[in-house]
Structure 1
Amino acid sequence: MPVNFLTSVVFDGPEVIPYWDQIKEYGPTVLPILLTLAGAKYYFHGATNTWERDMHGKVFMITGGTSGIGAQIAYELGQRGAQLILLTRRTNDQWVAEYIEDLRDKTNNGLIYAEECDLSSLYSIRKFATRWLDNQPPRRLDGVICCAAECIPRGKSRQITMDGVERQIGINYLAHFHLLTLLGPSLRVQPPDRDVRVLIATCSSQNLGDVDLNDLLWSDKRYPATQPWKVYGTSKLLLGLFAKEYQRQLMGYERKDKAPCNVRINLINPGIVRTPSTRRFLSLGTVWGLIIYLILFPIWWLFFKSAEQGAQSFYFALFAPIFMKTEGGNVVQECKIMTKVRKEYTDDDLQQKVFHNTEELIKQIETKSAIERKKHENAKKTPEQKAKERQEELNRKRDLHIKPETPEELESKLNSLRNQIGMGTGISSNEMPLFPDDETLKKVISSKKNASSNNSGGSKSNKSQKKSKKV
């Protein structure tokens, strides 16, 4: 059919083309516009990764793997045979179960799982990391891909995580800091021939952020509701500084086998992508904003990347062999390593301060959250439950078959055992305590020596008195 049509055009002229008169009239005006749009679409499409790598049998952990770029990466790696662990807020959610099942079917890969790790809770992150590390031999881990992010629309009030931290800072920065540092033992223990890569999603909005060492988590500063991108940019900037310092610490770690570090951390800037997060930000989180977003969708389609296009730089950082020849901490954009970065990325002292300050802040937040969590648990208990727990605790302390947890509990159980065998529980002032220190040992030994010398002197005087009586 196409051959016959082309033959007719050649021999009978272009008049046989349908709507030829309209094409001849409007073509000179419309054609340049179409070519311009096609060129713009090609330009904003971005670079495409050309590298390949065998993913079968490799294990990757993904945050934000259920939507946007994270979902696209999960689909691509799943098709390539990788084992995936998607960190989700809840695993008992029906939607999550159906999503995992659907992803397994689409990729024909049954090695895709979901694990509960709520990034808005440091306690949830610690529980997941503890479960992951509590295994012998250590679990295999070929990489961690951090795509999860929170972007608050303009005009919204300050939002916080379960730990009371500003939500964008808490999820984008603090959660990934906590997760990756807790997974440090798992990353460092991987065999030296394993190519381990950690990818952290960043954004050009980091250029709008700033670092305040006295208020890293934006706790004291007034929240800029009309300019929330400042907080978002700060979270991404802090994430980049953390990545640089953490890579330096991994490189400085001395393995038992003396092998060089095989872990590389890189920051990936995918560009502006049509993700749910972008849609929520542009629509201001409102219904009317969503309607306007849909009306203007051709503009977003033209100038913004799709999730598949935005994931290309992630594939490049995962597949290209050049990254194992670098020291890590690179910023990757449009499938190439950027050489021009913010000056903070070259300030080692600032990166160390940010890292250590964040560690201290996490300790304080976790301690406070643990106290609040315990108070909440106790408030929910009935008087009967509290009485039962107290009785169980008392029984546990009395039971000699249960290992004591404190020196006081051990001493109590030993006293109970002494009572049973008729030794008594009294401890004289000169008797050595159960857990003596050096000073106590010296005092007890000295007192025993004095007591023995007094006894020997007393016995001699008694003997002399008896002799004098006999005389």
Structure 2
Amino acid sequence: MLLQLVGFLGTIATARYAIHAGVIGITLLTLHLWVNGRENTRDRDMHGRVVVLTGAFTAVGLRVLTELADRGAQVIALTSSLSSPLVQELIPVLRQTSKNELIYAEECDLDSPASIRNFCQQLIQPRPSLDGNSPAESQRVDALVMTHEYPHVDSAPIATASSSISDVDADEHRLRPTLASFLLTTLILPSLLRAPSDRDIRIVNVVNPAYAAAIPSFSPTSLAPAKKCSTFTKEGYRSLRAIIVGRHLQRIFDALLSSPDKQAPVAPDPDADEFIRPSLLYKGSNIISVVVSPGFTMGETVTPLLASVGHTRYGFLNLLHYYIIIFPFLVIITKSTRAATQSILYALFLPHPRKVNPALSETGDSAKHQNVDGRVIEGGMLYRDCAVVALPGRSEREILEREDVGRAVWEYLEEGVKRWEEDEAQRLAEVVKDGGPTTRKKTRLSFAKDGKH
């Protein structure tokens, strides 16, 4: 009886409101497609290239990992624990589905500066060549893609049920992902600078899209957010600092290139698939640093943000009721994971401005791979929806283009890393004093074990 009643009501609704329902459906679909943004039309043969990927087992990171694996890249996916069931199950599946055995999970806890240093030390440590005749070289790295900064960071995980945390501790916790990116980049940097100058190297930092919320209150003299500002603004500060560091890092790369030591001729890399030569039009470095903002996604930005804001203000049950009501609307106005990764892939696949023939693709075998518009990757820029975007208003000129602002944020993060390392050393000392474990498990580098360079 119930099914017959539902069918009868559906027939009436279909006959009476078919046009209205069709218009609404088309409108919502158009809105969702518009929110998802541009599709990445670029492609690139990643065979022979090594990509270090953080946040590889988040939704966006896993999608990037899959896309790179399908294109033949050797991917070193960082994880806090190699014994995680998720890691142990996903890696064999990815190798099988992509038909790419060069997918590795390596232990690097981004919540621990000691673990980051341990991983980087082993990564850049020179290893003897396979033939025994060539000089020892460190692990080749063609791209460093950091997606761990993209998800919303909540201060709740560090609070206990019986106590609350201070605003200072909460801000320090929110700063940790940026400090991890900064420490990881600076430790790998010497190895990247020693690489042949004709090698195309990318550093891609993925940030949340809340940076615009921090611009009105941002000041180079006060790089930390105000204590009473909203969670969204604090997330904006975290994103904006990463954007500033990305621009400053490119400024450093280009300055090093103009030094006398870097102007000496360097023999071309015989293993490189693409050859880069000095150009009269482009005097920048072969190392490109960019920042990508994928936009808002349901699982990694919107839902955690609503939970952190609403849990204390409305209570869990009331928040759950509101969330159920607005969930369909959120699905429409947020990006899918696939759409969010398009800009990341775009930043990785765009040709380098110093390529021999930027008007043609690396393969040139189909229109999909042709660089007909002549676009190239622009170092230090912010990418969103597969295009370079500027900060709102005059902030592009007053914040990003000022070298003193970049230097101030750089020094701010250096001080943050020092505090972070001191805090970890203090906690380890307390563990030792209490008779706990004193050593950390060393990172096991699978690619070194397998002899793949």
Give the TM-score normalised by structure 2: 0.70
CA, structure 1 residues 133+300, in 2 after alignment: closer, same or farther (shift >3 Å)? same
Q: Does 1:61 align with 2:116?
A: no
* Map of 1:377 onto structure 2: 432
Question: Residue type of the partner of 2:381?
Answer: N
CA, structure 1 residues 296+365, in 2 after alignment: closer, same or farther (shift >3 Å)? closer
- 1:97-136 correspondence runs (5 A): 97-136=88-127
Q: Does 1:250 align with 2:274?
A: no
CA, structure 1 residues 330+255, in 2 after alignment: closer, same or farther (shift >3 Å)? same
In 2, distance between residues paired with 1:205 and 1:20? Answer: 45
Counterpart selection for 2:232 from 209, 217, 229: 229
* Map of 2:201 onto structure 1: 196
CA, structure 1 residues 282+20, in 2 after alignment: closer, same or farther (shift >3 Å)? closer
Question: Residue type of the partner of 1:133?
Answer: I
CA, structure 1 residues 188+105, in 2 after alignment: closer, same or farther (shift >3 Å)? same
Between 1:91-100 and 1:71-80, the stretch displaced more is 91-100
Task: Compute the displacement of 1:207 (Å).
Answer: 1.6
Task: Compute the displacement of 1:32 (Å).
Answer: 2.0
CA, structure 1 residues 356+326, in 2 after alignment: closer, same or farther (shift >3 Å)? same
Task: Compute the displacement of 1:99 (Å).
Answer: 2.3
In 2, distance between residues paired with 1:215 and 1:231? Answer: 13
> Which consecutive unaligned segments of at least 5 residues does structure 1 have?
1-18, 386-471
In 1, distance between residues paired with 2:96 and 2:325? Answer: 34
CA, structure 1 residues 212+314, in 2 after alignment: closer, same or farther (shift >3 Å)? same
* Map of 2:213 onto structure 1: 208
The secondary structure found in structure 2 opposite 1:139 is: coil
* Map of 2:131 onto structure 1: none
* Residues 170 and 217, structure 1, Cα contact 8 Å, conserved in 2: no
Task: Compute the displacement of 1:352 (Å).
Answer: 0.9
Question: Residue type of the partner of 1:255?
Answer: K
Task: Compute the displacement of 1:320 (Å).
Answer: 1.4
CA, structure 1 residues 178+212, in 2 after alignment: closer, same or farther (shift >3 Å)? farther
Structure showing greater Rg: 1
Question: Residue type of the partner of 2:331?
Answer: W
The secondary structure found in structure 2 opposite 1:255 is: helix
* Map of 1:354 onto structure 2: 409
In 2, distance between residues paired with 1:339 and 1:211? Answer: 16
In 2, distance between residues paired with 1:184 and 1:193? Answer: 16
In 2, distance between residues paired with 1:34 and 1:174? Answer: 44
* Residues 155 and 174, structure 2, Cα contact 8 Å, conserved in 1: no
Task: Compute the displacement of 1:95 (Å).
Answer: 2.5
Question: Residue type of the partner of 1:229?
Answer: F
* Map of 2:348 onto structure 1: 318
* Residues 244 and 400, structure 2, Cα contact 8 Å, conserved in 1: yes
* Map of 1:308 onto structure 2: 338
Question: Residue type of the partner of 2:435?
Answer: K
Identify the structure with bigger relative contact order (alpha carbons < 8 Å, sequence gap 6+).
2
Task: Compute the displacement of 1:80 (Å).
Answer: 1.1
The secondary structure found in structure 1 opposite 2:262 is: coil
Counterpart selection for 2:389 from 320, 338, 341: 338
Task: Compute the displacement of 1:125 (Å).
Answer: 1.1
Matched residues, percent identical? 27
CA, structure 1 residues 152+338, in 2 after alignment: closer, same or farther (shift >3 Å)? closer
The secondary structure found in structure 2 opposite 1:271 is: coil
* Map of 1:151 onto structure 2: 152
Superposed CA deviations along residues 202-242 of structure 1, whole A, max 9, x for unmatched, are 23311222546666456xx6365xx2122211111111111
* Residues 159 and 167, structure 1, Cα contact 8 Å, conserved in 2: no
In 1, distance between residues paired with 2:233 and 2:106? Answer: 32
Question: Residue type of the partner of 1:91?
Answer: L
CA, structure 1 residues 323+338, in 2 after alignment: closer, same or farther (shift >3 Å)? farther
**Count of aligned residue pairs for this structure pair:** 358
The secondary structure found in structure 2 opposite 1:272 is: coil
Between 1:96-105 and 1:65-74, the stretch displaced more is 96-105
Task: Compute the displacement of 1:256 (Å).
Answer: 7.4
Task: Compute the displacement of 1:196 (Å).
Answer: 0.9
* Residues 141 and 187, structure 1, Cα contact 8 Å, conserved in 2: yes
* Residues 47 and 72, structure 2, Cα contact 8 Å, conserved in 1: yes
The secondary structure found in structure 2 opposite 1:42 is: helix
Task: Compute the displacement of 1:77 (Å).
Answer: 0.7
CA, structure 1 residues 250+272, in 2 after alignment: closer, same or farther (shift >3 Å)? same
In 1, distance between residues paired with 2:246 and 2:433? Answer: 39
> Which consecutive unaligned segments of at least 5 residues does structure 2 have?
1-9, 128-136, 267-283, 355-375, 439-453
Between 1:296-305 and 1:229-238, the stretch displaced more is 296-305
Give the TM-score normalised by structure 1: 0.68
RMSD of aligned residue pairs (Cα, Å) = 3.2
Superposed CA deviations along residues 373-420 of structure 1, whole A, max 9, x for unmatched, are 2453244279xx9xxxxxxxxxxxxxxxxxxxxxxxxxxxxxxxxxxx
Between 1:318-327 and 1:346-355, the stretch displaced more is 318-327
Higher helix share: 1
Superposed CA deviations along residues 68-114 of structure 1, whole A, max 9, x for unmatched, are 21111111111111111111111122222122222223322221111
Question: Residue type of the partner of 2:299?
Answer: T
Question: Residue type of the partner of 2:231?
Answer: P
Task: Compute the displacement of 1:349 (Å).
Answer: 0.8
CA, structure 1 residues 208+334, in 2 after alignment: closer, same or farther (shift >3 Å)? same
